[in-house]
């Protein structure tokens, strides 16, 4: 049986042919967790919003509203759809921030100890706070590269910017986080 990465590479090599619905469904199954992580990042970690954006994105891909032309990997193409869908949703004012959140939506399935949970939450809060001090583009690039294991080139395609611009924002974002991590606010 072919591995997930091998299947994706095979699909990328056959990109000159239009992908049928079954091939798209298979690709979505293989990259679902990565897509969900990216949807969370695009939706500022609002789980319900990310689920809605991801569902809409999958429908766009499966119904042919978004067409894979083979100019990138399947993962990059799907991440682009997720990004645009999240942006469209914000733009049209359909954010669900006014709706009550589900009880326990942010509670992890298992918590080892209260101390480790408190430490993890503090670290996550500190990182989110630092990420709020860098530009949205820098934040998106860092997320794609570090959490989604994308190259800067792939991340630039997802964000619809040139590779040079992506590299600049990536380096500036890392430098700004280093500065914030060390407690300096002089930049």
Instruction: Clarify whether residues 91 and 118 are in a common domain.
Output: no
What is the DSSP code (8-state) at residue 92?
T
Residues of the chain above pLDDT 90, percent:
32
- The answer to whether residue 20 sits within a structural domain is yes
Query: Lowest-confidence range among 74-83, 97-106, 152-161?
Result: 97-106
Let me know if 99 is exposed, middle or buried by CB neighbors in 10 A (0-12, 13-18, 19+). exposed
What is the DSSP code (8-state) at residue 17?
S
**What is the pLDDT averaged over residues 18-39?**
90
pLDDT digits (tens, 9 = 90+) for 117-126: 677 777 777 7
CATH of the domain at 174: 1.10.10.10
Instruction: Clarify whether residues 37 and 76 are in a common domain.
Output: yes
68: left (phi over 0), alpha (psi -120 to 50) or beta: beta
Domain range enclosing 68: 1-95
- The answer to whether residue 71 sits within a structural domain is yes
Instruction: Clarify whether residues 148 and 87 are in a common domain.
Output: no
Instruction: Clarify whether residues 89 and 118 are in a common domain.
Output: no
- The answer to whether residue 103 sits within a structural domain is no
- The answer to whether residue 17 sits within a structural domain is yes
pLDDT digits (tens, 9 = 90+) for 40-67: 999 888 899 999 999 999 999 998 888 8
Tokens of 158: 């997802």
CATH of the domain at 17: 1.10.1740.10
Number of domains in the chain: 2
């Amino acid at each position: 049986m072919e591995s997930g990465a091998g299947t994706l590479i095979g699909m990328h090599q056959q990109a000159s042919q239009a992908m049928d619905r079954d091939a798209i469904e298979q690709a979505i199954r293989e990259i679902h967790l990565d897509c969900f992580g990216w949807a969370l990042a695009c939706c500022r970690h609002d789980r319900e919003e990310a689920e809605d954006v991801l569902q809409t994105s999958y429908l766009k891909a499966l119904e042919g509203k978004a067409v894979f032309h083979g100019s990138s990997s399947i993962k990059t193409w799907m991440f682009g759809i997720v990004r645009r869908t999240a942006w469209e949703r914000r733009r049209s004012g359909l954010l669900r921030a006014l709706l009550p959140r589900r009880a326990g939506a942010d509670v992890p399935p298992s918590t080892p100890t209260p101390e480790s949970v408190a430490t993890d939450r503090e670290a996550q809060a500190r990182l989110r706070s630092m990420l709020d001090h860098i530009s949205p583009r820098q934040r998106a690039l860092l997320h794609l590269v570090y959490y989604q294991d994308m190259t800067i080139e792939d991340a630039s395609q997802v964000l619809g910017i040139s590779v040079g611009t992506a590299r600049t924002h990536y380096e500036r974002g890392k430098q700004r986080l280093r500065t914030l991590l060390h407690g300096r606010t002089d930049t």
